[in-house]
Structure 1
Amino acid sequence: MSKFMNVLMGGVPIGRLEQMDTGVLAIEYADGWLAADRVQIPLSMSLPLAAKKHSGAKVANYLWNLLPDSDQTLQKWGQIYGVSPNSAFALLSKVGEDCAGAIQIVTDEWMAANADSPGEVQWIDEAEVANRLKRLREERTWTGRRDGDRGHFSLAGAQPKMALLFDGKRWGVPSGRRATTHILKPPMPHLRGTTENEYACLRLANHLGITAAEAKVGKFGEEVAIVVTRYDREIDKDGVVRRFHQEDMCQALGVHPAVKYQSEGGPSIEQITNDVLRYATDPEADKAAFADMIAFSFLVLGTDAHAKNFSVIHLPGRRMFLAPLYDVLSLVPYDNDEHERRRLRMAMKIGGYYKFSEVLPRHWRRQGELMKMDPDEMIARLVALGEKIPDALSDVVKEARVEGLKEPVLDTVLDGISARGKAIVQQYSA
């Protein structure tokens, strides 16, 4: 017998998710959603509104992309919630209340219990935030929620993280229809200063004119975390948190998260531009912005710029835009061995090459051709970003000092990116 759940977008039911007795997954859009001409937002580009019902791998892949990218974490969550870790449907029946974008995937029982309620918030003090971060840092497969918490969430990615609501003064665990507003990630255990590193990269991107997620280094007692303001949330004038729909490029292309890297069969830069961004509201602007994001990852020695780390935002009226940059980490401070540095690979090819050390100007031109851009524009964008790095870094340093950041890795990151930027500008301007 089939099992069903409800799919909400911005709190509005848009369809029913079905798990057939064969295990096959399907999504059927509600008639009212298909008729809502002013809205016209699909669950995913890979699950278009042109068809009332979709089933099979693309539905399953969309759901898996809402969950953590760690088999260990999924196994642990399966144990905690008493469901199969091999079933995205079963896992989301427990944690689908607050997902990326405007989506909530919830049971009929949840719908009945929350029919007339705007949701609740369990407020916690900073000491409790610190306790949760400490546990997440030490027990990296933890859910981020304690026994007794009513609200649950799911976030994709390989690194442990938790989502909370911040109202400007207090942190809280929302439940029901209430949404989280911030993502908190503890440092990685095997690399020093990753919190300050990600902060510096996102701030630098913004100062270079690349739209990036707003982030700061949060200090909670003895714990630190990168605190990222969710760009898929907005607090309205009445203090109500609104959800915006978004999906990552794996979801948009119907790809399972296990193959998010191009070398494993995942999307390429040109697939993202030609099969996703070509349908954006302003495709040329978004293509150029995406090219800048790729160039930025190259400049800062970012090895994790795969398809799941780029997204699009869907808005009513069939409008779609490239989402802000997020999840950027520079390997500059951790790579002191020249031999090892020459082996570092990008997540997606530039003109047919993965290794940073092997990419030359002609490969950027080739990449421009593959993206249906002026080949010389790719070079020009890379050089322009590199030339702006010194001034942008100066702004980042000032901000970091104002915020009291003293982690030594921060200086190493900034100095290393500065040197790499100068070298690339010299090489590509010759």
Structure 2
Amino acid sequence: MRHYNVYLEIDGSQVKVGEIEGNSSEDASFSYSKEYVARTDSRAISVSLPIQEEPFSPERTKIFFDGLLPEGFMRKSIATNMHFDENDYLSILYNLGKECLGAIRIDESDEEQESGYEAITSMQVEELAAEGTTKSTEIVIKTHLSLTGASGKVGLYYDEKEGRWYLPCGLAPSTHIVKQSHIRLDGIVTNEQLSMLTAHKCGIDIPESFIINVGQGTDSQVLFATKRYDRIIDETSQLIGNLKRPFRVHQEDFAQAMGVAAFEKYETDGQNYAEKMFEIIRNYARRPLEDQLRLWDRIVFNFVLGNTDAHIKNYSLLYDPHMEGISLAPAYDMISTVIYESATKDMSFNIGGIRNLDSIDEDSFKSLAAKVGIGEKIAMSNYHKVLDRFENAVKESAEELKEMGFVNAGDIAERILLARKKAL
């Protein structure tokens, strides 16, 4: 029988919320501990896992906790290196679950572990940029870090004053997610930073991000770094060595909140993911009206950007540090996929009943507004604001990146505008 403790960091303290028990990944179930349920301040770790005394089914348990793990080739590489079956989510989670997205931690014992940061040399950063999944897999296993998604990404600590990168050790939290360039998609790092800057100029809430250039800016010499919105450093942060320890803040993506398995993150006919996302915002967000419009703007932006990979794991909910409120998390993983010939033209979920990017129009968004319960007047006013800002935002963002030495930004901007000419 396997027994793993589930911890949640609240206000900087590790709180045991429950256990996962079972003989294997197929029958393991999560249950909140009696002590946690009895607390007057207990909070659910997921919209899909409300506070209750009874254990959750193995299926619901797997959907949430498997949703913390890497996917695709990255997961296969990690499982191979650890000598696990890639479908054995429980074993992978136990080995990587010391530092997850959000504030969840998985451990076998209650013993405290040492925490620290190991400085990374400039050569190691270059290797991470150049070596693809091999290097990122090595770092993920070494740091016991679990990050969702199929791309090669690692969690690192960045000392902004000194401009130095560190590997988190033990239970030390990371501050940034660092993503490698995708070898099959040219200029994807520049594409993502261009898309994020454009989103910000169109009024979309984004985390701080930047390109790490270890050479001449070619695909094998760049990394994409995003400052974690689920990590906070303030004046009360304790020191680990001479570095401030970030507080973990809980989050979950919409697949986890909706109880949808990671392999079902792309909508099929009749699932109406957008409607379910808005329903969760209405029922759980601290400021539901504001967050519904923020979600609306983001869906509009992903459409005009031509981001057909904006699936429900690329939208998240962010809990406050006290676990007393929920809001829509900042936008992330935004790229223009349609500039690549291999990309699908089907959106990740339907817009007013339509998924094909080239078939979606203003009427599709009017239909979506009616279905998700937003007034047509304000919905379409926001729709036009995003579309009206988009072209200039792309051009301005490209110029900023070109001035920083990323000369391919101009070409990528032209490809985006040409691909999205019909929408504009």
Give yes or no for TM over 0.5. Answer: yes
For 2:166 and 2:6, the matched residues in 1 are separated by 24
- Paired residues for 1:23-42 under 5 Å: 23-38=26-41, 40-42=42-44
Identify the residue that residue 64 of structure 1 maps to in structure 2. 66
Deviates more, 1:410-419 or 1:271-280: 410-419
Higher deviation after alignment, 123-132 or 385-394? 385-394
In structure 1, the partner of 2:131 is: 135
Instruction: Give the whole-Å Cα distance in 1 for the aligned partners of 2:296 and 2:267.
Output: 17
Matched, 1:165 2:157: yes
Cα distance 1:267–1:215, how it changes in 2: closer, same or farther (>3 A)? farther
Residues 97-137 of structure 1 show CA distances to partners (whole Å, capped at 9, x for unaligned) of 111101111222xx4251xx4x1112111211221332225
Q: Among 307, 310, 329, which residue is 1:323 paired with? A: 329
1:79: Cα distance to partner?
2.5
SS in 1 for 2:111: helix
* Structure 1 partner of 2:240: none
Asked if 1:217 is matched to 2:211, the reply is yes
Matches within 5 A, 1:110-129: 111-112=110-111, 114=113, 117=114, 119-129=115-125
d(CA) in 1 for partners of 2:403, 2:232: 26
1:302 paired to 2:304: no
Using the alignment, how far apart are the partners of 1:191 and 1:17 within structure 2? 39
Counterpart residue number, 1:403: 404
Question: Which residue of 2 is the match for residue 7 of structure 1?
Answer: 6
Which moves more between the two structures, 396-405 or 56-65? 396-405
By how many angstroms is 1:36 displaced?
A: 4.1
2:226 matches 1:232: no
Q: Is the 8 A contact 2:25 2:90 kept in 1?
A: no
Given residue 121 of structure 2, which amino acid in structure 1 is its aligned partner?
D
Give the SS at the match of 2:20: strand
Shift of 1:401: 3.5
Distance in 2 (CA, whole Å) between partners of 1:263 and 1:159 is: 23
Deviations 1:79-110 (A, max 9, x none): 311333221111111111111101111222xx
Distance 1:22 1:78 in 2: 14
Provide closer, same or farther for how the CA distance between residues 365 and 267 of structure 1 changes in structure 2, counting only shifts above 3 A. Answer: closer
Q: Distance in 2 between matches of 1:265 and 1:25?
A: 30
The yes-or-no answer on 1:245 pairing with 2:250 is yes
SS of corresponding position for 2:190: helix
1:15-49 residue CA offsets vs partner (Å, 9 max, x unmatched) = 212124683122222344334444x4322111111
Distance (Å, rounded) in 2 between the aligned partners of 1:302 and 1:261: 13
Match 1:187 to one of 178, 181, 203: 181
Aligned letter for 2:118? Q
Relative to structure 1, is the Cα distance of residues 22 and 211 closer, same or farther in structure 2, using a 3 angstrom cutoff? Answer: closer
* Offset from partner CA, 1:138-192 (integer Å, 9 cap, x none): x48x524288x4x221111121111111122321111222111111111111111
Let me know the Cα RMSD of the aligned residues.
2.4
Residue range with higher mean Cα deviation, 17-26 or 346-355 = 17-26
Query: Structure 1 residues 344, 37: CA separation in 2 closer, same or farther (over 3 Å shift)?
Result: same
Aligned mates of 1:420, 1:278 — CA distance in 2? 37
Report the counterpart of residue 276 of structure 2 in structure 1.
271
The one-letter code matched in structure 1 to 2:57 is: S
Is 1:415 the counterpart of 2:424? The answer is no
Long gaps (5+) in structure 2: 238-243
* Correspondence for 1:155: 147
Contact 1:199–1:216 (Cα < 8 Å) also in 2:
yes
What whole-Å deviation, never above 9, does each CA across 1:267-308 have from its counterpart, x for those lacking one? 611111113443211111111111100000110111111111
Aligned partner of 2:292 in structure 1 is: 287
User: Amino acid of the residue matched to residue 230 of structure 1?
Assistant: R
Structure-1 residue corresponding to 2:362: 361
Moved more, 9-18 or 225-234: 9-18
- Alpha-carbon distance in structure 2 between the residues aligned to 1:406 and 1:215: 18
Residue 210 of structure 1 and its aligned partner are, at CA, apart by 0.6
Q: Is the 8 A contact 1:297 1:328 kept in 2?
A: yes
Which residue of the partner structure matches residue 199 of structure 1?
193
Change (3 A) 1:357 1:295: same
* Structure 1 residue 393: Cα displacement: 3.2
Give the 3 Å change call, closer, same or farther, for CA 277–200 of structure 1 in structure 2.
farther
- What is the aligned partner in structure 1 of residue 386 from structure 2? 385
DSSP 3-state at the match of 1:112? coil
Paired residue secondary structure (1:4):
strand
Distance 2:411 2:53 in 1: 52
Determine helix, strand or coil for the equivalent of 1:263.
coil
Deviation at 1:219, TM superposition (A): 1.3
1:240-278: CA deviations, max 9, x gaps? Answer: 211110000110011110110002786611111113443
Preserved CA contact (<8 Å) 2:314 2:333:
yes
8 A contact 1:186–1:225 mirrored in 2: yes
Q: Are the aligned partners of 1:122 and 1:172 in contact in 2 as well (CA < 8 Å)?
A: yes
1:16 aligns with 2:19: yes
Q: Partner letter of residue 161 of structure 1?
A: K
Amino acid at match of 1:164: L
Q: Relative to 1, partners in 2 of residues 1:112 and 1:266: Cα closer, same or farther, differing over 3 Å? A: farther
Q: Check 1:163–1:57 CA distance in 2 against 1; reply closer, same or farther (3 A cut).
A: same
Aligned-partner Cα distance in 1 for 2:285–2:29: 26
Superposed displacement of residue 424, structure 1: 3.4
Structure 2: how far apart are the matches of 1:33 and 1:399? 50
Whole-angstrom CA distance in 2 between matches of 1:20 and 1:262: 32
What letter is aligned with 1:320? I
Which structure 1 segments of 5+ residues have no match?
426-430
Matches of 2:274 and 2:298 in 1, distance apart? 11
> 2:173, 2:423 → 1: CA distance?
43
Query: SS where residue 424 of structure 1 aligns?
Result: coil
In 2, Cα distance between equivalents of 1:348 and 1:61 = 19
Kindly tell me: are residues 33 and 285 of structure 1, through their superposed partners in 2, closer, same or farther at Cα, counting changes over 3 Å?
Answer: same
TM-score (norm 2): 0.88
Correspondent of 2:170 among 162, 170, 176? 176
